[in-house]
Amino acid sequence: MLQSILEFFGIKKKSKKVNLILFGPPGSGKGTQAKKLEDKFGLIQISTGDLFRYELGNNTPLGQKARTYMDKGQLVPDEVTIGMLKNKIVQFPDVNGFIFDGFPRTIPQANALKNLLLTMGQSVTALIALDVDNEELVTRLLDRGKLSGRADDANESVIRNRLDVYNEETAPVYTFYNEINLAQTIPGKGSIEEINSRLNNLISTFF
């Protein structure tokens, strides 16, 4: 309350949070890195893929709807994805910020994120893309599928479809943020620790 009154009179500025988009194709290491960054910087990871898999595991109506798209390697429709993300964000009013992992994947999602953060007096701090070449991604995803049993990682044609969807529908999201000077790319090849230290060095500059 006191903080809001001070903010109203411009005496105390609303604290800016660090909201990062960890960007890159399927298999580029976003999830692995997001978990490490969450611990180091006290941010909350929000992975729309994980949220869908949770719904799917519980066989909810949302999960059933998402499954038809996920199994084919297609994107779940924007209105479903955006609604789910909104419900998640509002559960964390007091965090230092978020790491969005696998979201936004389309321009409408990028616009929705902008508006959503705006209602909370926040904005996207940066988009960080992990750069990994296609053949390495296919190998990584097939290996992951053997361990995790994820249906969409088990089949090479579904994997290639996900990479095509990324190039056609998701890559423009990079341009969207690049045009407002918020996009950065780091090499996503190397050991998990090497990539993590590149990310840590970059992200430390935002605090």
x/- track of binding to ligand AMP for residues 109-148 (CB under 6 A): x---------------------------------------
Q: What angle do CA 201, 194, 18 make, to 5 degrees?
A: 35
- Quick one: tokens of 170? 């998701």
Active site residue 198: no
User: Closest approach of Cβ 25 to ligand AMP, in Å?
Assistant: 9
Using the rule CB under 6 A, which residue among 103, 110, 113, 163 binds ligand AMP? 103
Query: Of 109 and 205, which has the nearer Cβ to ligand AMP?
Result: 109
DSSP strands (E only) in the chain? 20-23, 44-47, 98-101, 126-131, 183-187
- Quick one: tokens of 152? 């969409």
Task: Considering only the stretches 15-23, 46-54, 125-133, 196-204, report the one whose residues sit in contact with ligand AMP under the rule CB under 6 A.
Answer: 46-54
| HSE-up (13 A, CA, CB side) for residue 200 | 14
Using the rule CB under 6 A, which residue among 105, 124, 145, 183 binds ligand AMP? 105
- Quick one: tokens of 72? 């084919």
- Quick one: tokens of 131? 């750069």
Active site residue 105: yes
Question: Which residues are annotated as catalytic?
Answer: 30, 105, 144, 150, 162
